[in-house]
Amino acid sequence: MARKSFKAGALTAPLPPVMVTVGDMENSNIITIGWTGILSTIPPRTYISVRPERHSYKLLKATGEFVINLTTAKQAREVDYVGIYTGAKVDKFKECKLTKVESKEVAAPTIAECPFALECRVVEVIPMGTHDVFIADIVSVSSDESIIDEAGKIRFDKADLMAYAHGEYFALGEKLGSFGFSTKKPKAQKSAPKKKPMENKEKSAPVSSKNAEKDDKKRPFYLDAPRGKGGKTKGKGKKR
């Protein structure tokens, strides 16, 4: 298959277009972030990349806390709006009709309408050219109760999460599998139980041991026919 090369650029997809909240319940702002992800499982650690000229940058530096709010396909318009307008001039919560609720561990508010929220506390800020990377510990996670089943499992298939790819928003498609599905062996089919001979069926006459050995050699490996005259079977053999 032919390929075409381009000059170096920041291209990776898909990404989660998240709404990051900063500040506190009285003085807060929302910023749309595409550059985010997981850095470590233990401790649970994440990052966001923010341009220093953004209005939220100063609040991040001052408080050292933020909340990553995962978004749904139905929130595409709000996500796009939040990423265009500056919080220095616009109250994004008001304009987008989003509800801020208190977070459990950090001062930055959580967006009630988002299915998941990761509360984060900054541990390091690294300048990386156009963006500064805020590395943070995830100190608490919350989820909308409507997407948690009776067993306490989060149903991501019901969350309607959104994806972002090089300037375009997408709804996630069908589920393709679960982690490790490629290594699972197919389940073996159970063979049908053998039919018991009828009580009134006439038994075959006994045969000598020499004849029995000859019959065994002639009999195909996949048949389970009885020895002797009239010893045919209706059963099917094993598949190879």
Residue 105 has pLDDT above 90, yes or no: yes
DSSP notation for 57-119: HHHHHHH-EEEEEE-BGGGHHHHHHHHHS-TTT--HHHHTT--EE--SSSSSPEETTSSEEEE
Q: Does residue 11 sit within a domain?
A: no
Contact (CB, 8 A) for 59 and 111: no
53 within a domain of the structure (yes/no): yes
User: For 12-22, what is each residue's pLDDT tens digit?
Assistant: 899 999 999 99
* Distance in angstroms (rounded) separating the CA atoms of residues 170 and 76: 9
Tell me the pTM.
0.76
Which position has the higher pLDDT, 203 or 166? 166
What's the CATH code of the domain at 52? 2.30.110.10
Residue 234 has pLDDT above 80, yes or no: no
198 belongs to a structural domain: no
Domain count, the chain: 1
**Residue range 51-62: mean pLDDT, rounded:** 95
Range of the domain at 73: 18-174
Q: What is the pLDDT of residues 80-99, one digit of tens each?
A: 999 999 999 999 999 999 99
Residue 209: the pLDDT is 52
Is a pLDDT exceeding 80 seen at residue 175? Answer: yes
Q: Is residue 130 part of a domain?
A: yes
* 214 assigned to some structural domain: no
Point out the least confidently predicted range of 24-38, 66-80, 221-235.
Answer: 221-235
C-alpha to C-alpha distance for 162 and 76, rounded to whole angstroms: 8
Assess if residue 182 is contained within a domain: no
